Amino acid sequence: MRKWNFCAATVLVLAATASLRADDWPQWRGVHRDGVWSETGVVERFSSDRLVPQWRVEIGSGYSGPTVAEGRVYVTDRVTQPKQIERVHCFDEKTGKKIWSHEYRCIYSNVSYEAGPRAAVTVYDGRAYSLGTMGNFFCFDAATGKIHWQKDLKKEYKVRMPIWGLASAPLIEGDLVILQVGGEGDADVVAFDRVTGKEVWRALPDEPSYSAPIVIEQGGKRVLVQYTGRRVVGLDPKSGKVYWSVPFPPKQMVIGIATPVHSGDMLFLTNFFDGSLMVALNPTKPEAKELWRRAGPSEQETDALHSIISTPIMRDGYVYGVDSYGELRCLDAKTGDRIWEDRTAVPRNRWATIHFIERGNASDRVWMFNDVGELIIAKLSPKGFEEISRAKLIEPTHDQLPSRRGGVTWAHPAFANRHVFARSDKELLCVDLSAK
């Protein structure tokens, strides 16, 4: 009987464990590139106002968020002494022990905000793809750091370098790796064979933005969505053929950073100076048109949403995002009308930032990482912002924005295997978020 009870108990434990979902965070904004974190078995609220790291390691400065895949954590950084170099690091997910690191000479030329690389490393099928600020593009063996192939995009494509450098996280689509290059001629977006590095197609004469591409389903087709310096475009990801184009020209300068947000038959874009654009997607075929556009006389005098770095979320017919000076806002997705505003989620500052992470599995919770290093569990609804729990995750640093008192943490954290991985200009750390 005792033996039977032990076996039965073992089966129950294994069944309960199997019911818990764990995921990696292998690319920009997670598994599906949509800012959704669907793991189960994580905390519902924090036990204290400061989270204790499981491990922490010293790194250099950079804007790129970490990614996590197959037991390894990837992040890029920059150092300037004794010479200017960018680095790509790989750490053990459990311990923080360095597995491999690759460095290369990289002199920043005519680039503002020199704290380091912008684009998150993309990991897929045993390969890690890294894009540096000046266009150094690598395909590594994800486990060993061996270079499969590399490209100097600035030289090869005569990149029209944006003022803040290249920032578009590489996207894997089938046999291709696609990114916004900003090359001369029709080479704003370029697709490469992800194994060999050979160019497959190039498209668009547009100047580049900083926004990462995504792929959506529309009318039974895969559609590559790219927010360029002048418009948002839907492309055939296999060929680069343009399906549709909706203008979104800049008033002052190209400043599109946030990733397009897709929900149902709508696509939302925002930037600091130009406010908000909602695109209506034809559900039966790859066509699109402007639904509404909202912007005030300035980024401060506005009823729209003027996000700078952070990508908003759209759920249940509403858009939630943080505005130019830290105003957390809710908009009606159909009209653009503002429903409410809250000023408690992040301190008021020019270019205030919150990274939004939706909880999957029909959860009503949203996790928010603000630019002073706080992690917030909250509910967002048309009724308002309901804070459930808040704790300090990481201390802000000054390299990313030297002019701000107290520093910032602008890099998007990774949420993987019931842990959060966050970086500053000094360290990368890991915190256990599993429910005890």
pLDDT at 19: 53
Q: 131 in helix, strand or coil?
A: strand
Residue 4 banded pLDDT, cuts 50, 70, 90: very low
What's the domain count of the chain?
1
Q: CA 211, CA 62: separation in Å to the nearest integer?
A: 17
* Percent of the chain topping pLDDT 70: 95
* Percent of the chain topping pLDDT 90: 91
Q: Give tens-digit pLDDT for 201-244.
A: 999 999 999 999 999 999 999 999 999 999 999 999 999 999 99
Q: State the average pLDDT for the chain.
A: 94
Q: 88 in helix, strand or coil?
A: strand
For residue 11, is pLDDT > 80?
A: no
Mean pLDDT for 9-17 is 42
Are the C-beta atoms of residues 170 and 131 closer than 8 Å to each other?
A: yes
Which residue range forms the structural domain that includes residue 235?
A: 2-432
Q: 15 in helix, strand or coil?
A: helix
Q: Give tens-digit pLDDT for 304-328.
A: 999 999 999 999 999 999 998 999 9
- Lay out the sheet containing 261-263: strands in order across: 261-263, 266-271, 275-281, 288-294
Are the C-beta atoms of residues 392 and 404 closer than 8 Å to each other?
A: no
Q: For the chain, how are helix, strand and coil distributed in percent, rounded to 5?
A: 5, 45, 50
Quick check: bond before 237 cis, omega within 30? Answer: no
Q: Please give the structure tokens belonging to residue 146.
A: 């061996």
For residue 33, is pLDDT > 60?
A: yes
What distance, in Å, lies between the first and last C-alpha atoms of the chain?
30
Q: Please give the structure tokens belonging to residue 6.
A: 């032990």
CATH number where 95 lies? 2.130.10.10
For residue 361, is pLDDT > 90?
A: no
> Phi first, then psi: what are they for 14, rounded to 5°?
-65, -40
Q: Please give the structure tokens belonging to residue 69.
A: 């895949």
Q: CA 257, CA 217: separation in Å to the nearest integer?
A: 22
